[in-house]
Amino acid sequence: MEYDMKAKQQRTPPLLSDFAPFDLLEPPALERITASVRPIHAARGELLVQRDDRARGVHLVVDGDVKCFVLSPSGSEKIVRIAGSGAFFGEDAALLDRPHVVNAQAMRACELLLVPTAALRAAMDASHRFCTAMGLHLAAASHDLMSTLQLQLQLSSTQRVAHYLTRLAPEDAEHCEIHLETDKQTIAAQLNLTPETLSRVLAHFVREGLIRPRGRRGMVLSKLSQLRTCAAH
């Protein structure tokens, strides 16, 4: 049974039409773009895109997590974005035929689809609906990037950590147990903090009774309204 399942999985490559906005394409356009797509299996740590590489197309993450990052002069990573399943990256460089600005690396074993630039442009030309959806997607990418930039530049380190933690909790909860999305080093890089600063802020929150560690990646948030106030001021 297990063997059959595995064989079946190997026979069924991930379908582009399972992912937005490609699900908007009509059969002929969808067939054309699907025919040109290339599946990529990436091992944990594999570099998928390197800064200054010419973009070959857009990478769609079918399964896994890919971090998009730049390196500071001291060699430390600054993560600008983590692309999870269903997200894509490199679409701006591909559409403009410009080199990639950031590096992209698989954070764990990943399945991806590479949609070549020409096929992406042809799909935009073939379908007005798809073109509009791509436009909105690009607007969202720009807006999200600006938000990241704004958070990293504007908020203090304490605010950034409080903001990160409250985002993992339900909106109205006062109390809850959360699970950190990744290891602390990655979280620090995402918040543009050193791991030492992140640890210092977390220790401060523990002393204030705002959080309580639970296991390796678990955490109890005990006074969420106070943490939200902290994120905002």
Residues near a copy of itself (CB under 8 A) are 51, 70-73, 78, 80, 91-93, 95-96, 98, 101-102, 124-125, 128, 131-132, 134-136, 138-143, 145-147, 149-150, 153-156, 159, 192
Cα–Cα distance list, 225 to 9, 40, 117, 173, 230 (Å): 46, 44, 47, 8, 9
Instruction: Judge whether 227 and 221 are in contact, CB under 8 Å.
Output: yes
Residue with Cβ nearer a copy of itself (16 or 80): 80
Q: Which H or E run contains 212?
A: strand 211-214
- Least CB distance to a copy of itself at residue 199 (A): 20
**Nearer to a copy of itself among residue 31 and residue 125 (C-beta):** 125
The minimum distance between CB 104 and a copy of itself, in angstroms, equals 12
User: Which pair of structure tokens corresponds to residue 104?
Assistant: 């992209």
Q: Which two tokens stand for residue 13?
A: 């490559």
φ, ψ for residue 82, nearest 5 deg:
-115, 120
Residue 173 or 229 having the CB closest to a copy of itself: 229
Tell me which residue of 54, 49, 32 sits closest to 119, measured CA to CA: 32
Torsion of CA 139, 144, 150, 155, to 10 degrees: 160
Supply the minimum distance, in Å, between the C-beta of residue 79 and a copy of itself: 10
Q: Tell me how far, at minimum, the Cβ of 49 lies from a copy of itself, in Å.
A: 12
Nearer to a copy of itself, 69 or 205 (CB): 69
Nearer to a copy of itself, 194 or 222 (CB): 194
Shortest separation between residue 76's beta carbon and a copy of itself, angstroms: 10
